[in-house]
Amino acid sequence: MAHLNQRRPENISGDFYVDNSCIDCDTCRWMAPEVFASVGEQSAVYHQPANEEERLRSLQALLSCPTASIGTIENPKDIKEAQETFPILVDENVYHCGYHSEDVPGHTKGHTVLLYKNKYLFSGDHLAWSPEINQLIAFRSVCWYSWTAQLKSMKKLANYTFEWVLPGHGRRYRADTETVRQQMQNCIAWMERN
Ligand code: SF4
């Protein structure tokens, strides 16, 4: 969820804004180019949506932002309708589902994870729950590429918002976003000791 007290000053005044957790991934800018632009290595709202079409695209961008950095001052009553527009038809039978893949080198050089709706993280072999030590972990003994790179990727991933960790190996985990955030910090501290 975006935080109004972290609203970037570069946003034009009005309902939609980007906060300072933006990681400059470009998603909002290609989804709603009439509203979001790059300003100083992060996105900002340079033009508030002026009609229904622009508002819908802005809400779709809000829902797709991998770090939940886009917010509205007013509670968006039409968010559910925007949610129901996914998957969005791209062409023929190709759809944009709101999935975002992130590179997380470490386990292998080209390892990626998939984040869906800022809720479900398909973490592959990067991250899983350990019932033995009761926390989120990475697999040191099957880290085929670089533990240092994996730690760096974990720190990057800790900026994202999600509730579910759905790994390829290891146990699943689910908690509220704040608990997951704390768990990611525990995982990073554990990786630094191992
Ligand atoms: S989608 Fe989110 S993280 Fe990506 S550029 Fe836009 S505001 Fe930043």
Strands 164-167, 120-124: pairing kind: parallel
Q: Of the residues 87, 113, 145, which one is the last residue of a structural domain?
A: 87
Q: Of the residues 87, 118, 138, which one is the last residue of a structural domain?
A: 87
Which residue among 11, 28, 35, 63 is best mutated to probe the pocket of ligand 1, counting the most ligand atoms within 8 A of its Cβ?
28
Q: What is the pLDDT of residue 15?
A: 98
Same domain, yes or no: 114 and 174: yes
Mean of pLDDT values over 177-194? 97
CA 43–ligand 1 middle distance (angstroms): 6
CATH number, domain at 29?
A: 3.30.70.20
- Residue labelled with tokens 């590429």: 145
Distance (Å, whole) CA 40 – CA 11 = 11
Same domain, yes or no: 40 and 15: yes
Please work out whether the CB of residue 25 comes within 6 Å of at least one atom of ligand 1.
yes
Name the domain count of the chain: 2
The pTM score is: 0.67
pLDDT at 95 exceeding the cut of 80: no
Q: Which residue has the higher pLDDT, 27 or 34?
A: 34
Same domain, yes or no: 83 and 24: yes
CA 160–ligand 1 middle distance (angstroms): 11
Write the single-letter amino acid at 180: V
Structural domain contains residue 93? no
Tell me the per-residue pLDDT of 96-131, one tens digit each, with 9 for 90 and over. 776 677 789 999 988 999 988 888 899 999 999 998
Q: Which domain holds residue 8?
A: 4-87
Distance (Å, whole) CA 113 – CA 121 = 7
Q: What is the pLDDT of residue 136?
A: 97
Tell me the β-bridge partners of 120: 116, 164
Please work out whether the CB of residue 23 comes within 6 Å of at least one atom of ligand 1.
yes
- Residues constituting the chain: 194
Q: What is the pLDDT of residue 99?
A: 67
- Closest residue by CA, ligand 1 atom 1: 65
Minimum mean pLDDT range among 28-32, 86-90, 91-95, 157-161: 91-95
